[in-house]
Amino acid sequence: MGRDDEQVDPMEIDCQQKLQVEASTAVPEGFNADYLRVYYGKLFPYGDFFKWLCYGNDGKHPGCDQSYVGRREFSFTLENDIYLRFQSFDSASELESSIKEKCPFKIDIGPVYSVDPAKRHAYAQSGNNVFVPVERELIFDIDISDYDDVRYCCSGADVCLDCWPLMTIAIKILDTSLRDDFGFNHILWVYSGRRGVHCWVCDSRARKLSNEQRAAVADYFRVYKGGENALKKVSLAGPVLHPFLAQSYTDVLESFFEDKLLLSQQLFASEDRCQKILDLIPDENVASELHDKWQRNRSTSISKEDVNAARWKQLKTTLQSGKHKGLRRCVEEIVFLYTYPRLDMEVSKHMNHLLKAPFCIHPKTGRVCVPIDPNNCEDFDPTAVPTLSQLLGELNAASFQTDSENSK
């Protein structure tokens, strides 16, 4: 797929493979195997991490599935881009020992298979074709780079506090719907370490969804169709908005667009940006009328904030006035295009997809893939997430202080 936060189809790569990488993928200063060894030796939360993936199948009570966690796939990307697939572990100590020994630059989590993935060849040789994924969290992957056509502060993997709120909005929209519309309760949001967020829906019901059911859930959220040549990039089917979309619009999207995004992204600050929005109006006469108004008012000395607000108000009033039949929905379509979550649909649809584990260190930023509290997601600052070198600095400082106190 070509993205650092994504994986090659997990069914196509076997146990070890040297990946082809470009020179630009060199790790940042402060990220190396020696630093990782200290992190894995002192800070990685093995116990809680393993307990999460056991879902109670830890052998401590009658009726649990003793083989459950041993059928889960782990994938390690080692230094020099050596890719280890189909690793499996029966205990937290076994997982810890392997991570400390191999010191993976990245850890990915796959599905729970019908048999131990490390022993899949033995089953294949016996003629029993039983190696299939049987359980996996429902996952969502959202990258800020997928919003490049509607953000002007950054592009690609770059992110700042002006465009990161798009990720905050995605968390709010999806988390609310997953709980209210689908009844899921155990939802983990994780910062990807660089340019986006990952969502793990961990309810037993979610983990047992088929690929077809996962696709149906993903399609429920799909509004953005994308594509450079697409005439219409969002689809709001029906004469009225679906209740989920209507609630998202009134509770979150409209106010975010008008109160924050208009100014933070300067959506009407240039001729090109204005024209991009005008191109979304299907009636060329109306679009031309608005364009002429804005051109006549160019010489007016008002602030950037007032320019963006004034032009949006003019557009909104014109389209919702009732004079132009069929254009009221266009206002909603513009807001959805600029604010609504954009999912990597394939990640959600297929049970066998790999996804980067929480508490990994992103190899290109050195940042920890930390959980995000959806109830306070607007307070999350990706630029303040601790890096590997910062953590080691804190460890060294704490060790120095302890040594100093002991020497007194």
For position 100, which CATH number holds?
3.90.920.10
211 & 268 share domain: no
Catalytic residue among 4, 96, 116, 143: 143
Instruction: Specify the pTM.
Output: 0.87
φ, ψ (nearest 5 deg) of residue 150: -130, 10
* Full pLDDT tens readout for the chain, 408 residues: 434 444 433 333 333 333 333 333 334 456 788 899 999 999 999 999 999 999 998 767 777 888 999 999 999 999 888 999 999 999 999 999 999 999 999 999 999 999 999 888 776 665 666 789 999 999 999 999 999 999 999 999 999 999 999 999 999 999 999 999 999 999 999 999 999 999 999 999 999 999 999 999 999 999 987 765 444 688 887 778 999 999 999 999 999 999 999 999 999 999 999 999 999 999 999 999 999 989 887 666 666 668 899 999 999 999 988 777 778 889 999 999 999 999 999 999 999 999 999 999 998 899 999 999 999 999 999 999 999 989 988 888 876 566 555 666
317 & 378 share domain: no
368 & 318 share domain: no
405 among known catalytic residues: no
408 domain residue, yes or no: no
Kindly state the tokens that stand for 96. 């810890």
| Total domains in the fold of the chain | 2
Q: Which residue has the tokens 């070198």?
A: 389
Cα distance between residue 187 and residue 184, in whole Å: 7
Cα distance between residue 245 and residue 173, in whole Å: 9
375 domain residue, yes or no: yes
201 & 248 share domain: no
205 & 354 share domain: yes
User: Which one of 304, 339, 374 terminates a domain?
Assistant: 339
392 domain residue, yes or no: yes
163 & 269 share domain: no
314 & 201 share domain: no
Q: What does the pLDDT read at residue 306?
A: 85
Q: Say if residues 125 and 62 touch (Cβ distance below 8 Å).
A: no
User: Which one of 339, 354, 378 terminates a domain?
Assistant: 339
Q: What does the pLDDT read at residue 404?
A: 58
163 & 192 share domain: yes
289 among known catalytic residues: no
331 & 350 share domain: no
103 & 215 share domain: yes
77 & 93 share domain: yes
Catalytic residue among 5, 73, 96, 203: 73
Structural domain including 304 reads: 243-339
290 domain residue, yes or no: yes
Q: How many CB atoms lie within 10 A of CB 56?
A: 12
CA atoms within 13 A on the CB side of 255: 6
Give the amino acid at 73: E
Catalytic residue among 108, 135, 137, 141: 141
73 among known catalytic residues: yes
78 domain residue, yes or no: yes
